[in-house]
Chain A
Amino acid sequence: MYDAKKIVPGIIIFVVLFTFPLWSNMGKAAPAPKPELPKTEKVCVMDTAYMKTEHMVLLNQWRDLVVRDANRLWVGPDGKEHLMSLQNSCMKCHSSKVKFCDQCHNYAGVKPYCWQCHLEPKENM
């Protein structure tokens, strides 16, 4: 092969670097997240399956509905009314960011910037 001395080590170095995340985490699977659900409330603003996958879409929709269109109330599928507010509604039931939000966010390695403005409930630990 033409220039094999350079190409082969190059390919090896590339493959090693490219697969670094795979083999460096081999055998140390992170434990599945266990977000703590509120004990007092049973129903959320939408059903659990939707909230699991789409809560960020919903929050994004809420912020426009509240800030831009002066809406305040969300009527859930069950007809129950909720205040549309991360700080004053979501976090009233899910009263611990550490035990709820962070569980999955840390697992998934995402850092939502909500908390740079919105205040998280004071944790009593």
Chain B
Amino acid sequence: MEKDRREFLKIGGISVLGLSALPVFEVLAQEKGPRYKPDPKALKGTQWAMIVDMKKCWEQQDKRQCKDCILACHKIHNVPDIPDVKREIKWIWMEEYKHAFPDQAHEYAPEKVKENPFMLLCNHCTNPPCVRVCPTKATFKRTQDGIVMMDFHRCIGCRYCMAGCPYGARSFNWGDPRPYLKPEDINMTYPTRRKGVVEKCTFCYERIDEGLQPACVEACKVKALIFGDVTDPKSEVRRILSGQYSLRRKIELGTGPNVYYLI
């Protein structure tokens, strides 16, 4: 009996030792063979956030019906232009006050606020319901910088995330999106989607990982879109947020949206 136990402990100890050595072996193995790494230019943050300064935006909307951010985003990501509103796909779009903020809109708000559309996009929630419900982790929250990502390779098209998202930020490819892309406008460096998967704004993870700002931010000529790390007290977003009062959509749901609106 005594001997058995000793034997057991010995084997157990060796096994544990072996398991703890595993990561070391993996690293050593990596040293020799091919390796992978992030781009050193990649932007680094803990939770990306965006501020939409509607005053600046509305000025441009009035002046020249500005849609620069939408056009830039949708062109760069090959977002199809589907005329049927029931089947449309949108990553960043315009929505009236009472529809963007149905829980807090009231009829006595300033005309400017009531009449002019807000820019809406995925809120990259701190506590995203879409990620919670996805059965395959096709949509997930990046641990390093809080982007709510879409892995189009993995999505099975169950659309549970669309039911889960309280912001209507998700679109489904009801059919093949390619016929709705103008061949001359296609961005050859970014993929399209195929039918049967869900898509949405990814905060331009592909640009952030190469050290670039999101496409909409870059496209806005009046700097109405400000992007940065909301956990960094020295960031521009934090400076603006501490300077003036801002709105977020449906905060009572506890999702922790990371898109802020200035009006």
Contacts and interface: CB of A to CB of B under 8 A. Distances in A.
B193 A84 contact: no
A88 interface: yes
Interface in A81-125: 84, 87-88, 113, 116-119, 121-122
A76 to B, nearest CB: 6
B36 A117 contact: no
Contacts, number: 60
Q: Is the interface of A mostly helix, strand, loop or mixed?
A: loop
A36 to B, nearest CB: 20
Contacts of B190: 87
Nearest to B208: A70
Contacts of A52: none
Contacts of B33: 77
B188 A70 contact: no
Contacts of A87: 188-191
A55 to B, nearest CB: 13
A75 B36 contact: yes
A67 B151 contact: yes
Contact of A70 (B34, B38, B191, B193): B38
B153 A65 contact: no
Given A87-B189, A119-B191, A72 B152 contact: no
Contacts of B247: none
Interface residue range, chain A: 20 to 34
A70 B36 contact: no
The secondary structure that dominates the B interface is loop
Interface string A62-83: 0101011011111111000000
B140 A73 contact: no
Given A87-B189, A88-B189, A68 B140 contact: yes
A71 B38 contact: yes
A119 B36 contact: no
Interface in B182-203: 186, 188-194
A117 B34 contact: no
Interface of B: 33-39, 42, 140, 142, 144, 149, 151-153, 186, 188-194, 205, 209-210
15 contacts: A45-B34, A65-B36, A70-B205, A70-B209, A72-B39, A74-B34, A75-B34, A75-B36, A113-B194, A116-B194, A117-B152, A117-B192, A117-B193, A118-B191, A119-B192
